[in-house]
Amino acid sequence: MKKIVFFLFLSIGLFIVNTKTLAQTDTIPDDFCISTEEYQLYQLINDYRKAFALPQIALSKSLSYVAITHARDLSVNFNPDTICNMHSWSDKGRWKPICFPSEQSKKNNIKFKAKEIIGYSSEAYEITYWSNVENSPRQILSFWRENKISADLLINRGNWENKSWKAIGIGIEDGYAVVWLGEGIDYEVSTPVCGTSIQVLNNASPEYKAKNTQKQSTENPVYYITIGSYKNRKDGVNAVRSYKEMGYPKAILVETANKFRVAIDYFTNKKEADRSLKKYAQKFKGAWILTL
């Protein structure tokens, strides 16, 4: 009879500090997608929350990228025979390596890993899983549900009662499963599921809300304080990320007719937009109002 081995770790975040944004973060590849198993686990987690009358957590492309990156790092480089647990990161990638918990510090804290790797705006918390036999999405969630530490995180219980998860990322690789949860809203609008036509919409994204606002009739226009245009979506997304980190939470990418414009703010009232334009024009030369 095969021996079944399970491991679970949960990062709680032992230090609260202000960290500077790193000079270099990854860019999500254009062909990035999540697997059908990862998508199923995402759905199962939200079904689990629904049973407790909790709101659905929006799937985050950014946190999924971090989760998959970590799952792959664990699959290739993790050694269970050391003092480092599965929240550790190897020295084989473009991130700061860390042996958790022994090397956890104010300057190298795993709850800031998502910010380090992809520029995610908030602290993020991780649960992990490994099995050498059982690794279906249902088995993974079943194990997390039966463990108080992970269950509390998933359903905002106990120490997590006052948290409001706005984003979740899923990664599964070779028996490893990783979930990241954060209170920051992801700017990415959707996450594709590999080998399917499914695009999981992130309805918490400001850009998603803006795009849906653009679909309103001309009787309800939206006024965008526009500060720049870009040749492609990638450059525009990177610019939005930078402006958000600079303290402009409403910065969004507005896509129209293959044009990529960055708006620093937006309004549904023309007078408010005009007043704000005067303020923003002092800092962003050439700022103008795009009406959609």
Q: Of the candidates 218, 226, 231, which has an alpha carbon nearest to the alpha carbon of residue 263?
A: 226
Domains 6-192 and 205-291 share a fold: no
Residue 127 has pLDDT above 50, yes or no: yes
Q: Which stretches of the chain are assigned E, i.e. beta strand?
A: 6-10, 124-131, 167-173, 176-182, 190-192, 199-201, 223-230, 252-256, 259-267, 288-291
Q: Of the candidates 141, 187, 205, which has an alpha carbon nearest to the alpha carbon of residue 8?
A: 141
Cross-strand bridge partners of residue 59: 168
Residue 289 has pLDDT above 50, yes or no: yes
Strands 252-256 vs 223-230: parallel, antiparallel or unpaired: unpaired
The mean per-residue pLDDT over the stretch 7-35 comes to 57
Is 3.30.70.1070 the CATH classification of the domain at 205-291? yes
- Would you list the domain boundaries of the chain? 6-192, 205-291
Residue 50 has pLDDT above 50, yes or no: yes
Neighbouring residues of 81: CB distance < 8 A, sequence distance ≥ 6: none
Rounded Cα gap, residues 17 and 22, in angstroms:
15
Quickly list DSSP for 230-257. Answer: ESSHHHHHHHHHHHHHTT-TT-EEEEET
Residue 4: per-residue pLDDT: 45
pTM attached to this predicted model: 0.68
Residue 24: per-residue pLDDT: 44
Rounded Cα gap, residues 259 and 230, in angstroms:
7
Residue 106: per-residue pLDDT: 66
Residue 135: per-residue pLDDT: 85
In this predicted model, what pLDDT tens digit does every residue of 191-213 receive, in sequence order? 999 999 999 988 776 665 555 54
In this predicted model, what pLDDT tens digit does every residue of 1-18 receive, in sequence order? 444 445 555 544 332 222
DSSP classification of residue 81? T
Is 3.40.33.10 the CATH classification of the domain at 6-192? yes
How many other C-beta atoms are found inside a 10 Å radius of the C-beta of residue 231? 9
Question: How big, in percent rounded to 5, are the helix, strand and coil portions of the chain?
Answer: 35, 20, 45
Rounded Cα gap, residues 38 and 44, in angstroms:
10
